Amino acid sequence: MRSLSIFGATGSVGESAFDLLTRAGGPDAYRTVALTGGRNVARLAEMTRALQAEVAVIADETLLDDLRSALAGTSTRAAAGEAAIDEAARMPSDWSLSAIVGTAGLMPGLRVVERGGTLALANKESLVAAGPMLMGRARASGATILPVDSEHSAIFQCLEDGKLDHVEMVTLTASGGAFRDWPVERLVHATVAEASSHPNWSMGQRITIDSASMFNKALEVIEAHEFFALPNDRIRVLVHPESIVHAMVTYADGATLAHMGPPDMRHAIGHALHWPGRARLPIAALDLAALGSLTFRAPDEERWPALRLAREVVDQGGAAGAVLNAAKEQALDDFMAGRIRFTDMAAAVEHALDIGAGRPHFGDSPNTLDAVLDWDRAARRDAADWAARNRR
């Protein structure tokens, strides 16, 4: 029986994975080693009982007693805190899903890669903040990293034998998020509630707001650069409001292969779960006749300055990805808390990148978790300083 672990089980991606696993037979089909959650003890305990996980970890240490009570009568070991997540990620399992949101997702994914495991990677922040380190350690240990971000999974599926031979260009599509049709002048007034509703995808709140600002696509450009080792000019972004084509791969012979499907993360998760094979998944069939037409347009950089920042980060390399990632998280916190406006997020990130570029060793890719976290803390401070000086 295959064994697996899920880091961030209680989130949007984690719930989709749980849905697939329970439909497939749960504990009769898979041996679950570890499940982790942030703060939602009740849901983590339900999932743990359903999958009969060996270990359940809640990130918030103050909730350990609650988790223990919720798991009373089971043979699951309850644990809490970052060290327990670290330990869980070191436990052998055939397949591990990295679905914690933010920089916090880097450590468990790194541990899986270091032990040569198979990492299904939803946490794009890992590749943005520490792509060279993560990919390098995977090469050294023989680990397999499978993309779970829908666009990157789509590209991966359009490659012949997983190779980039003869590939000229990859295209990531973007729905355009909540504000794609707003007049640009109105964006300055966008509220958190308005930014938190996605036209097509149902996702966690943070990534939904990142879709409205295009920081999500900015992260994905960097993610594609790190994962597929492609330069800026071979990664294109196209706004595609219907979210049916997830990505395209253009070959030197003029063929462009497009990956299509309904916007349902269970496809990308299920693909990584069953790779290198395929399995029947509970995904609605595409009805192109009902859709009638698919539309595409070039992204507007005035509306979405995050895309320009991503391009600069890819060109800069070194610690720029770690800085953009952390500054973006801080700017998002500041926007969500009402301290800065929607349109200020890009300015705060750009400020942190400018300050970061002046710090020693900015040109070197951080090669240890501590080095990434040092850049992360500094960039958060720089973005927070900008927010404090430009408070609305």
State the residues that interact with Mg ion by CB under 5 A.
149-151
Shortest Å distance, C-beta 323 to Mg ion? 21
In sequence order, the β-bridge partners of residue 101 are none
Nearest CB to ligand NAD, comparing residues 54 and 149:
149
Does 200 bind ligand NAD (CB under 6 A)? Our answer is no
Partner whose binding site includes residue 113, from Mg ion, ligand NAD, none (CB under 5 to 8 Å by kind): none
Name the closest residue to ligand NAD (Cβ): 11
CB 37 within 8 A of CB 43: yes
> What's the CA gap between 328 and 316, in Å, rounded?
17
Host H or E run for residue 173: strand 167-174
> What's the CA gap between 66 and 228, in Å, rounded?
43
Please select the residue that binds ligand NAD; options are 70, 93, 106, 124, rule is CB under 6 A.
Answer: 124
Shortest Å distance, C-beta 155 to Mg ion? 11
Of residues 329 through 388, those in contact with ligand NAD by CB under 6 A are none
> For residues 186, 189, 190 and 192, what is the CA-based torsion angle, rounded to 10 degrees?
180
Shortest Å distance, C-beta 321 to Mg ion? 17
Please select the residue that binds ligand NAD; options are 5, 54, 55, 105, rule is CB under 6 A.
Answer: 105
Shortest Å distance, C-beta 122 to ligand NAD? 3
Does 226 bind ligand NAD (CB under 6 A)? Our answer is no
> What's the CA gap between 222 and 217, in Å, rounded?
9
Could you say which DSSP state residue 197 is in?
-
Please select the residue that binds ligand NAD; options are 17, 38, 329, 350, rule is CB under 6 A.
Answer: 38
> What's the CA gap between 39 and 392, in Å, rounded?
31
- Residue 184's identity, in one-letter code, is V
Shortest Å distance, C-beta 156 to Mg ion? 13
For 307, residues 6+ apart whose C-beta sits below 8 A from its C-beta are 214, 217, 218, 221, 237, 299, 301
The first and second tokens of residue 140, run together, are: 């050294």
The contact set with ligand NAD (CB under 6 A) reads 8-14, 37-38, 59, 99-101, 104-105, 122-125, 149-150, 201, 203-204, 206-207, 265
